[in-house]
Amino acid sequence: MSTLTTWLRDPNPASRMQSRLGQSYLSWLRLRRNPLAMIGLLITAALLFVAIFAPLLAPHDPITQELGRRLLPPGTPGNILGTDDFGRDILSRILYGSRITLYIVLLVILTAPVVGLIIGTVAGYFGGWVDTILMRITDIFLAFPKLILALALVAVLGPGMENAVLAIALTSWPPYARVSRAETLTVRSSDYIAAVKLQGAGPIRIIWGHVIPMCLPSVIIRVTLDMAGVILTAAGLGFLGLGVQPPLPEWGLMISAGRKFLFEQWWVATMPGLAIFIVSLGFNLLGDGLRDVLDPKSASK
């Protein structure tokens, strides 16, 4: 172990990989000093764990109805968080719901940031009219009320998980384009880019191999900070009945089901909301910590 840390801390790295891993190790050390960020990391890890092992962890099936056991309060033996109006175990539904949440988040972060990254780097690298047109489009999308645009899109495409993901992705790429364009502008005229250009590299190679890596840290921070927003928007669409459809255990949908008897059986709406809150808070804490570590400019001293 100690040889590994000395290897990582070596001030004269022998290879590119060693230097990169060493940098990551130093970032990790800085992140570890931030207790809030570590809590965030823990929550995120727990979400992954629960989503993977949901069938093993859940005491009941999330879909099967058991009308004899409907609306039992929390603390009932066998149903720690109580049951909903169809007698389904709320804990099991929350555990399985983490899979849906994670699935939506993954789909969005695999599309929106990639689109934004490509648009932003191309606009920033080429400049001129390419930049003007691409950034004008970005500004138009940025000027939109996001949630309402997503609502209108889903209304047209029809409710459902895939369409909700599409609507969220279509409304969330512009900030990534902005961020990557700004980063591209700062590196575009650097000497090392000029050197690569003199060696005969084409624009695609330069953007892919030398510009995009420089944009990644800022984009990753934004992604982490945006994930909570994605979860909240997805839950909002589910709550309005426009996202994931019943009987799937989506958290927003579960809150909307519990709304009917909020004052009598408070737990049905409360529990899934707590799950959303904890998971979003986890992503926010982690994102906040990562920003301090990866982006020294905005670090709170």
Partner 1 sequence: MGRPFSMTSTPAPSSRLIPLLRQIGGTVVTLFVTFLGLLMVTFFISNVIPVDPVLSILGERATEAQMEEARERLGLNEPLWKQFGIYVGNTLQGDLGTSIRTREPVLEEVSQRFPATLELATLATILGVLLGVPAGVIAATKPGSFFDQSTRLIGLMGYSMPVFWLGLMGLLLFYGQLGWVGGPGRLDAGYQMSLDFELTQYTGMILLDTALNNRWDMFANAFSHIILPAGILAYISMAYISRMTRSFMMNELGQEYITTARVKGMPERRVIWVHALKNVMVPLITVIALSYAYLLEGAVLTETIFAWPGLGSYITDALMVADMPAVLGGTVVVGIAYIGLNMLSDLLYRLVDPRARV
Of 58, 94, 214, 276, the residue at the interface with partner 1 (CB under 8 A) is 276
What is the secondary structure of 206-267 as a DSSP string? HIIIIIHHHHHHHHHHHHHHHHHHHHHHHHHHHHTTSSSPTTS--HHHHHHHHGGGTTTSTH
Does position 1 interact with partner 1 (CB under 8 A)? The reply is: no
By CB neighbour count within 10 A (0-12 exposed, 13-18 middle, 19+ buried), where does 11 fall? exposed
If you search the block for the tokens 């004269």, which residue do you land on?
A: 12
Rounded least distance, CB 86 to partner 1, Å: 20
Query: Which CB atom, from 216 or from 281, has the smaller least distance to partner 1?
Result: 281
Q: How many CB atoms lie within 10 A of CB 29?
A: 13
- Evaluate whether 70 touches 253 at the Cβ level (below 8 Å): no
The footprint of partner 1 on residues 31-60 (CB under 8 A) is 36
Rounded least distance, CB 198 to partner 1, Å: 35
Binding string, residues 102-141; x marks residues near partner 1 by CB under 8 A: ----------------------------------xx-xxx
The footprint of partner 1 on residues 231-260 (CB under 8 A) is 232, 235-236, 239-242, 252, 255, 259
Of 6, 15, 199, 300, the residue at the interface with partner 1 (CB under 8 A) is 300
Query: Which CB atom, from 191 or from 264, has the smaller least distance to partner 1?
Result: 264
Please give the distance of CA 248 from its chain centroid, rounded to a whole number.
21
Specify the 3-state DSSP secondary structure of 89. strand
Q: Which residues contact 62 (CB under 8 A, 6 or more apart)?
A: 88, 89, 92, 93, 95, 96, 97, 249
Rounded least distance, CB 262 to partner 1, Å: 6
Specify the 3-state DSSP secondary structure of 84. coil
Does position 301 interact with partner 1 (CB under 8 A)? The reply is: yes
Does position 228 interact with partner 1 (CB under 8 A)? The reply is: yes
Rounded least distance, CB 75 to partner 1, Å: 18
Does position 296 interact with partner 1 (CB under 8 A)? The reply is: no
Specify the 3-state DSSP secondary structure of 76. strand
How would you label 212-247 residue by residue, b for 16+ Cβ within 10 Å and e otherwise? bebbebbbbbbbbbbbbbbbebbbbbbbbebbbeee
Does position 273 interact with partner 1 (CB under 8 A)? The reply is: yes
Rounded least distance, CB 274 to partner 1, Å: 9
Rounded least distance, CB 29 to partner 1, Å: 19
Query: Which CB atom, from 180 or from 284, has the smaller least distance to partner 1?
Result: 284
Query: Which CB atom, from 167 or from 211, has the smaller least distance to partner 1?
Result: 167
As a whole number of angstroms, the distance between CA 124 and CA 186 comes to 9
The footprint of partner 1 on residues 139-178 (CB under 8 A) is 139-141, 143-149, 151-153, 155-156
Give residues in contact with partner 1 (CB under 8 A). Answer: 36, 136-137, 139-141, 143-149, 151-153, 155-156, 228-229, 232, 235-236, 239-242, 252, 255, 259, 262-263, 266, 269-270, 273, 276-277, 280-281, 283-285, 288, 298, 300-301
